[in-house]
Structure 1
Amino acid sequence: MEYKNEKLKEEKVFKDPVHRYIHVRDKVIWDVIGAREFQRLRRIRQLGTTYLVFHGAEHSRFHHSLGVYEIVRRIIDDGFQGRPEWNDDERLLTLCAALLHDLGHGPFSHAFENVFDLDHEEFTQAILLGNTEVNEILSRVSEDFPQKVADVIGKTYPDKLVVSLISSQIDADRMDYLQRDAYFTGVSYGHFDMERILRVMRPKEEQAVVTYSGMHAVEDYIMSRYQMYWQVYFHPVSRSAEVILTKILHRAKYLNDTGYVFKHKPTHFSSFFDKTFLLEEYIALDEGVMTTYFQWWMTEEDTILADLSSRFINRKLFQYVDFNPATEYEKVLQLSELFREAGLDPEYYLVSDSSSDLPYDFYRPGEENERLPIFLEMPNGELSELSLQSNIVDAITGKRRTDHKLYFPEDVLLKGKDQNPLYRKILEMLNR
């Protein structure tokens, strides 16, 4: 039998807390799950530093990737198959893209990417096309199959319907992570009626759409996403942990570049510091490796690296205050100078951080990060953009919300304020 169409002798089933069961019958999918690059995702948390706020958030990108695969499998096998707008020849490609869409995430994901100026989608494509087990498995389907999967993930594949199932404003990726992250953080915000949405999804030439009768389920989904971003993903305490993590890496890079002699040399990081790392080194770096270094660095002679590492490992996080960069810029400059006078390096101990989200938007041609809108299929068969029919969605469409925080070591300031008048002055300014 041709490998592309080969089925397992017996269906494999993963027990899953969100979808109950994840079903695998395709030999290709089963083989990809067993590849070392995919197994690595067990060692990358889905929510980065959020476990330091919501203690249950220990789930991995392995969990999430299987969940996205299962949602796409259900959309295709239970909803799209047999409909004239759906080309069933794209089934395996779509399933592989769903399963592998997060393959290139680094440890602690976005914080790691920001420090080293990396893009996880580019590394996903590099793993798919490189000398890897995943590439070898996909190449058995056809010589160009790894490139097709990479094109779907890179949003350049010609069949836009396939791309929309993996990446759009209502895709399998979001439908899984909202529910999965809500489950593991213990919050109720991320729950919505996915069963209803899957029943009313329809394939069209450009993208998947939703019948008009399913509009209220989509409204619920969008509001769930809005709440999850501000209650979980942008939680200020999680952002504090991410600030410290980022500063640990910045400090280690600075020390490495200036010739500091580490007690525990950052062997696994050296090639990242000078941007000479190979794909194999990227794949070898996971959160267990990083955490081990942070534990070692707690005993370094450099007091900043030792302190930041200890804060992260022992959850002694920075406190925060709201601030407006447009009106309080001068205040931050004054605080920075006071920090320096007090012996606290503001580069590491006075950190501004901003979070911003656009919960839903319609198509704005030519703008950065163009968003394909959600379309409803009306009773007469015509398509209508969601915000034209929903008052709820219209109220938040195109409205970006941004939040700014200033992070600092309040514990140090409070402990030393009786001995150091500068500490008292800093606290007074921060609390105005």
Structure 2
Amino acid sequence: MVKSNKLKIFNDPIYGFISIPNTLIFDLIAHPYFQRLRRISQMGLSYLVYPGAHHTRFHHALGSMHLMQKAIQVLRFKGVEITDEDSDGLLGAILLHDIGHGPFSHAMEHSIVEGLDHEHISLQFMKELNTRFNGSLTGAISIFTGTHTKKYLNQLVSSQLDMDRLDYLKRDSLYTGVAEGNTNAERLITMLNVVDGNLVVEEKGIYSVEKFLMARRFMYWQVYLHKTGVVAEQLLIRILKRARFLLEKQSELPASEPLLYFLKNQVKEEHFDPKILDIFSKLDDIDIMAALKEWQYHNDFILSELCKMIINRRLLHIKIKKEPISKDKFEIKIKKVKAKLKLSEDEASYFVFSGKLENKAYDRNNQNINILRKNGKIVDVAKLSDHLNLNALSKTVTKYYICYPKDAV
């Protein structure tokens, strides 16, 4: 048997060459659970708005790991204690932080498994891999769950200025072509330090932090919460809802075995055991798109129409308002759709629906971004900033939307 070279490199369009630091990381990347991320889109259905947004969770996980290697190097140079065991834990935690994402990421987060977010499923994957890799991910799990004694290790993986966010903003900006989202991740990393067990940014990096927070705000309104992307995601959620309804009525639906399993069974947190985890690991974007291509020809009008909307990008019309959608306006549109398409109230709700979008670029109440001043004092970035009013970015902005078929209304 020929031994493979486990210290390979990946060529990344953003950072250039990304090296694999050790054999454990190589073996994790090579595992089918992780390889599945090649088939999970990083940005769901955003490619319907930005044609270049076809990059995957696999890209993002490797990029985040690369930035973590840089952060470890910088912090060690500044005298911060990061042992080899800590380093392995950090790299394992950041590599696997998104492994629990289902098909089309956030659009499907609560549709496939009821009430379970991707973080919980990521943890289940990590625990299962820890068993298979003889406990070598124990440190990674303690960092990921925030139970490690060194708080700054968890903050590098999950905080308001972590390697996850630094990579996805830069990566999503590149692949969408939205230049406002571009951040100087390397510059921010060189400004990191640790004081009293917490991650801080040195004062000379404050403008880079401001740029990062502004970029995050732009990306949310311009990309992640783009109205066309919102419609597409909501349609996908309703397609799965309709498919479940039809299966309960004993209708036949062509789909892959893993997808049919989650459509026919209401899987909740308490049911999510290793057997179900293994079924989940076989589910990816291809299952969903293959199902949509088949279901567009189904004799159920609602399922067929919803699938055609996504396949052919003929989506519902969406209006976004600053105030909640009035009940009267909503009822008028429902009545028109019922009459035009000859549907019941419940059936019409697949085509007319409303909701709200929320965005907060910086949360002052949760894991603040702290600035280390030259005099040694630690100050929240929103208090210290004089270039931009970060207090405004700390407020939740809420917008309201209504979706409906324009030709029927």
Query: TM-score normalised to the size of structure 2?
Result: 0.90
RMSD (CA atoms): 2.0
Alignment of 1:302-317 (within 5 A): 302-317=300-315
Instruction: Assess, with a 3 A threshold, how the Cα gap between structure 1 residues 16 and 375 changes in structure 2: closer, same or farther.
Output: same
Give 1:405's aligned residue.
Answer: 401
| Deviation readout 1:250-290 (Å, 9 max, x if unpaired) | 1001111222233x266433332322571111110100111
- How big is the shift at 1:207? 2.6
CA distance in 1, matches of 2:284, 2:52: 20
Alignment partner of 1:318 is 2:299: no
331-340 or 294-303: which moved more? 331-340
Question: What's the CA shift string for 1:96-135, capped at 9, x where partnerless?
Answer: 11111001100011121132433111111111112x5x75
For 2:155, the equivalent position in structure 1 comes to 164
Counterpart selection for 1:208 from 189, 199, 205:
199
Q: Please, which moves more after superposition, 327-336 or 230-239?
A: 327-336
Distance 1:359 1:31, change over 3 A: same
2:362 match? 360
Contact map agreement 1:75 1:198 (CA 8 A) in 2? yes
Superposed, which structure 2 residues align to 1:153-192 within 5 Å?
153-192=144-183
- Tell me which amino acid in the other structure corresponds to 1:400: T
Assess if the C-alpha contact under 8 Å between 2:255 and 2:290 holds in 1: no
List per-residue Cα deviations over 1:329-369 (Å, max 9, x = no partner).
23213322332233243221102132211101223xxxxxx
Distance 1:127 1:286 in 2: 15
Q: Equivalent residue for 1:3? A: none
Pairs within 5 Å for 1:40-59:
40-59=36-55
Q: Does 1:272 align with 2:257?
A: no
2:228 aligned partner: 237
- Aligned partners of 2:80 and 2:257: how far apart in 1? 52
Map of 1:66 onto structure 2: 62
Query: What are the within-5 Å matches in structure 2 for residues 24-423 of structure 1?
Result: 24-77=20-73, 79-88=74-83, 89-116=85-112, 117=114, 118-130=116-128, 132=129, 135-137=131-133, 139=134, 143=135, 145-262=136-253, 264=254, 267-273=257-263, 274-276=265-267, 278-323=276-321, 326=324, 328-342=326-340, 343-344=342-343, 345-363=347-365, 371-391=366-386, 392-410=388-406, 412-413=407-408
Q: For 1:10 and 1:257, how far apart are their aligned partners in 2? A: 48
Q: 2 CA distance for matches of 1:135 and 1:105?
A: 20
Which amino acid counterpart does residue 56 of structure 1 have in structure 2?
A: G
Q: Which is greater in Rg?
A: 1
**Range moving further from structure 2, 224-233 or 115-124:** 115-124
Q: Which segment is superposed worse, 346-355 or 49-58?
A: 346-355
How far 1:324 moved relative to its partner? Answer: 5.6
Q: Provide the C-alpha distance between the structure 2 equivalents of 1:372 and 1:157, rounded to a whole number of angstroms.
A: 16
Instruction: Sort the Cα spacing of 1:154 and 1:257 in 2 relative to 1 into closer, same or farther, 3 A.
Output: farther
Q: For structure 1, list consecutive stretches of 5 or more residues without a partner in the other structure.
A: 1-7, 364-370, 414-425, 427-432
The Cα shift of 1:84 comes to: 4.0
Deviations 1:206-235 (A, max 9, x none): 332111111111111111111011111111
1:421 paired residue number: none
Alignment check: 8 A CA contact 1:320 1:405 kept: yes
Q: Deviations over 1:108-166 (max 9, x none)?
A: 11121132433111111111112x5x7523x2xxx3x4343233223333321110001
Question: Which stretch shifts more, 333-342 or 29-38?
Answer: 333-342
1:226 partner letter: R
User: Is this contact kept in 1: 2:126–2:137, CA < 8 A?
Assistant: yes
User: Matched residue of 2:100: which SS?
Assistant: coil
Contact 1:106 1:112 in 2 (8 A): yes
SS at match of 2:354: strand
The residue type equivalent to 2:396 in the other structure is: R
Please give the alpha-carbon distance, in whole angstroms, between the structure 2 residues aligned to 1:280 and 1:407: 36
Q: Which moved more, 1:185-194 or 1:392-401?
A: 392-401
Instruction: Provide TM-score, normalisation by structure 1.
Output: 0.85
For residues 16 and 389 of structure 2, the distance between their equivalents in structure 1, rounded to whole angstroms, comes to 30
The percentage of aligned residue pairs carrying the same residue is 30
Question: Which of structure 1's runs of 4+ aligned residues deviate more than 4 A?
Answer: 8-11
TM-superposed deviation, 1:240: 1.3
1:423 paired residue number = none
